[in-house]
Amino acid sequence: MRLVVGLGNPGKEYENTRHNTGRIVVGIIEKKLDAKQKIKFITPDTFMNNSGKMVAPLVKTKKDLKDLIVIYDDIDLPLGKIKISFNRSSGGHNGLGSIIKALTSEEFLRIRIGTAPVTSSGKIKKPKGEKAMLNYLLGEFKKSELETIKKLGKIIAEAVETIFSEGKDKAMSLYN
């Protein structure tokens, strides 16, 4: 079974926060992709740091790992950019770290979605300090930022289709 997981936190108070980017995008692409593709979409009802508990029971074999895509927010990418990667570390992302630990493997695809603010010249301008970073990630998207994320949903849906039909290498060459 093909599995697409959108990371975030459950609950109304987290609904449109930057840390819920994975959940937001999975909701969008689930509506765009044809049901005939036999893809299961999941937004874990656990908090981000416990995502692995929900994913691990659904991924039992190496084949299941190959059919897993995890979508999540990335503060190291500018808002509106995506990066498809495979077999990488968590990069400090606790939700992804939870999945890697629960699966005892990094051998799955992930689609990172940039949430970092940028300067007028396009340089990333991350919040300074742990508290400022946490406030930013758990803060709600501005309306224009949310529109950017929603537009990305169409591109990410195409990337997911490409991954499952033509493979990860083709998707990476087209969308990275």
- Catalytic residue numbers? 19
Say what angle helices 21-32 and 143-166 make with each other, to 10 degrees: 60
Which helix H or strand E contains 162, and what residues bound it? helix 143-166
Tokens of 124: 């990333």
Cα separation, 63 vs 153, in Å, equals: 26
Q: Name the domain count of the chain.
A: 1
Can you give the length of the chain in residues?
A: 176
pTM of the model: 0.94
Cα separation, 12 vs 139, in Å, equals: 13
Cα separation, 5 vs 111, in Å, equals: 10
Residue 83, beta-bridge partner list = 112
Fill in the DSSP letter of residue 124: B
pLDDT by residue for the chain (176 residues), tens only, comes to 899 999 999 999 999 999 999 999 999 999 888 776 789 999 999 999 999 999 999 999 988 999 999 999 999 999 999 999 999 999 989 999 999 999 999 999 999 999 999 888 888 999 999 999 999 999 999 999 999 999 999 999 999 999 999 999 999 999 99
Pairing of strands 109-116, 82-86: antiparallel
Q: CB of 95 within 8 A of CB of 113? A: no
pLDDT of residue 36: 67
99: Cβ–Cβ under 8 A, 6 or more apart, which residues? 5, 51, 52, 55, 56, 70, 108
Cα separation, 136 vs 134, in Å, equals: 5
pLDDT of residue 1: 84
Domain range for 68 is 2-175
Cα separation, 175 vs 160, in Å, equals: 10
12: domain CATH number is 3.40.50.1470
pLDDT of residue 32: 87
